[in-house]
Amino acid sequence: MTDLDKIRNFSIVAHIDHGKSTLADRLIQETGTVALRDMQAQMLDSMDIERERGITIKANTVRINYKADDGFDYVLNLIDTPGHVDFAYEVSRSMRAVEGSLLVVDASQGVEAQTLANVYHALDADHEIVPILNKIDLPAADCDRVAEQIEDVIGIDASGAIQVSAKTGQGIHETLEAIVTRLPAPKGDRSAPLKAMLVDSWYDAYLGVIVLVRIIDGVLKKGDKIRMMQNGSVHPVDRIGVFKPGMIMIDELGPGEIGFLTASIKQVRDTRVGDTITHEKGGCTQALPGFKPAQPVVFCGLFPVDAAEFEDLRDSIEKLALNDASFSYEMETSAALGFGFRCGFLGLLHLEVIRDRIEREYDIDLITTAPSVIYHILMKDGTDQELHNPADMPDLTYVEHIKEPRIKATILVPDEYLGDVLKLCQDRRGVQLDLTYAGSRAMVVYDLPLNEVVFDFYDRLKSVTKGYASFDYQMIGYQEDFLVKMTVLVNEEPVDALSTMVHRDRAEQRGRAMVEKLKDLIPRHMFKIPIQAAIGGRVVARETLSAMRKDVTAKCYGGDMTRKKKLLEKQKKGKKKMRQFGKVEIPQQAFINALKMDD
């Protein structure tokens, strides 16, 4: 049992690549939490894909024991949070579990868009914030300029900012002292009924679901019966422990402490991030505020390239869903692609991570259909429907109007690329909300439709700014707009996998791009094939794939022209008949390429 005033709970917030996982490694190393022979880079990132991409996907935690300069022993609980916008909800919950944050800013690059977004999460949770300037060993580091930027853009006093190089270990001792002296101790009542926040959960093949908890009030002991307040389920606690990064079993967790429990829970879906845990008997009556279930934002279809692998795909998706409560899926069939799944994700990075894990961990080749967002369709009879898949769009005669999700996007960009960024946002139907300057960099705030962002906005933004722009967004709600469903017809047959929702003003442009692309991708047949993009009954773009022809007049040497004409007429009739009965084979590769909208 540790005194409350000897505990410090903190998280590290930073933009991607500003060095928070490296800083965590140095803190672990400096305090001797892990033996030197066991140290490795990105100590807290356990998944291969996290190491490879250099990003944090799951919030991780570690308990550090530190003997401070004042002679007392302190317990420091660090939560390493994801920096990416897709996992913003997990970040906000992790922030509620701690009292302070280390704000890590790259001393050469300065404040970026996600630095801002994550600092706002920390300020919302009433955190004490200690600014840290990392990477001071780089020749381009400019601490005074970046400290001034932190004061201008975020409005935090950066005069006491600690200068650190997480790579060389310089400034790490000062950081540990600042955690002990500048961050507040947690509050909590040991004798009150148990109230604990569920910070995160993941599936372990041996122990079932492992639940990461922060105790607010009361004491959690081994053998207690606990109740999840959100769904009312009751579980007996099997094990209680803390991470040092390996699991260490203990007997109880008291107020202010962060640890884990296992309770033979079978599915991660039963343990929702942000839920309140209490005792079954004599528990607390009021849940912690701010809980909301994770809502998928982006939907797309996942189909196996080889139809025989469908069962393997089902197994892999079920296993991934065990470990990820925010990932939803349902079975769907497509005339062109066969059997597959319609899956919901928190964002594009989440989609990429799941797809990469299926391809890598389960060795299945996938076709991903074009990502789409949720539209709200108000019908003429007053009902409201959600549309996840453009192929399911109801008949327009029954539709009153369609609403699409909008986001508020914050883009930080060097001055010389500002024009290109403004043009890109205007092209994507954006509405400018704000434009301010922080030193030589502009901060642009736009209201954008989400469906324009999920295609390739991020890639385009990176290419027009040579990689210097940083981008962050949050959902702001739904807005009515003039949207239509665009269908692609090949040989007058609709191809459901290529249906998309587009804005009416851009339908011709998007349709033309799609049919031109398909004309190059579909191999020629013995008859000519029309490829059309249509809105309802009206064709907005068309290309014709010419037929392969045999030279039937080759054996006519000289002689009368009527003989040749007769043979050509006969061939023409045959082609016409063929086209009526002919089936167009669209190769898988053509689908994969047609769905990459990179024009």
For residue 389, give every residue at least 6 positions away whose Cβ sits within 8 Å of its Cβ, in sequence order, or none.
299, 301, 332, 342, 372
Alpha helices in 244-396 (DSSP H): 310-323, 348-361
What is the distance between the alpha carbons of residues 406 and 453, in angstroms, rounded to a whole number?
A: 10
The pair of structure tokens assigned to 98 is 């701690």
The pair of structure tokens assigned to 568 is 């050509």
Q: Calculate the alpha carbon distances from 23 to 30, 43, 384 in Å.
A: 10, 10, 49
What is the distance between the alpha carbons of residues 325 and 543, in angstroms, rounded to a whole number?
A: 44
- Give 568-577 contacts, CB < 8 A, sequence gap 24+: 575/526, 575/527, 575/528, 575/547, 576/527
The pair of structure tokens assigned to 368 is 């991903």
Partnered with residue 202 across adjacent β-strands are 210
Cβ atoms within 10 Å of 538's Cβ, excluding its own: 8
Point out the annotated binding site for GTP.
17-22, 134-137
The DSSP output letter for 413 is E
Cβ atoms within 10 Å of 264's Cβ, excluding its own: 12
- Give 153-160 contacts, CB < 8 A, sequence gap 24+: 153/111, 153/116, 153/438, 153/443, 154/103, 154/111, 154/115, 154/116, 154/119, 156/103, 156/119, 156/129, 156/131, 158/131, 160/130, 160/131
For residue 436, give every residue at least 6 positions away whose Cβ sits within 8 Å of its Cβ, in sequence order, or none.
442, 443
User: Which residue shows structure tokens 């799941």?
Assistant: 354
The DSSP output letter for 161 is P
Q: Calculate the alpha carbon distances from 292 to 91, 95, 218 in Å.
A: 13, 15, 24
Residue 218 Cα to chain centre, angstroms: 35
The pair of structure tokens assigned to 5 is 């005033």
Point out the annotated binding site.
17-22, 134-137
The pair of structure tokens assigned to 513 is 């791009």
What is the distance between the alpha carbons of residues 599 and 594, in angstroms, rounded to a whole number?
A: 11
For residue 594, give every residue at least 6 positions away whose Cβ sits within 8 Å of its Cβ, in sequence order, or none.
498, 514, 517, 518, 521
Buried b (16+ CB within 10 A) or exposed e, 95-123: bbbbbbbbbbbbbbbbbbbbbbbbbbbbe
The DSSP-derived string for 240-272 is: EEEEESEEEEESEE-TT-EEEEE-----GGGS-
Q: Calculate the alpha carbon distances from 481 to 124, 143, 375 in Å.
A: 33, 47, 11
Q: Calculate the alpha carbon distances from 578 to 86, 425, 489, 492, 547 in Å.
A: 50, 47, 18, 14, 11
The pair of structure tokens assigned to 65 is 């024991």
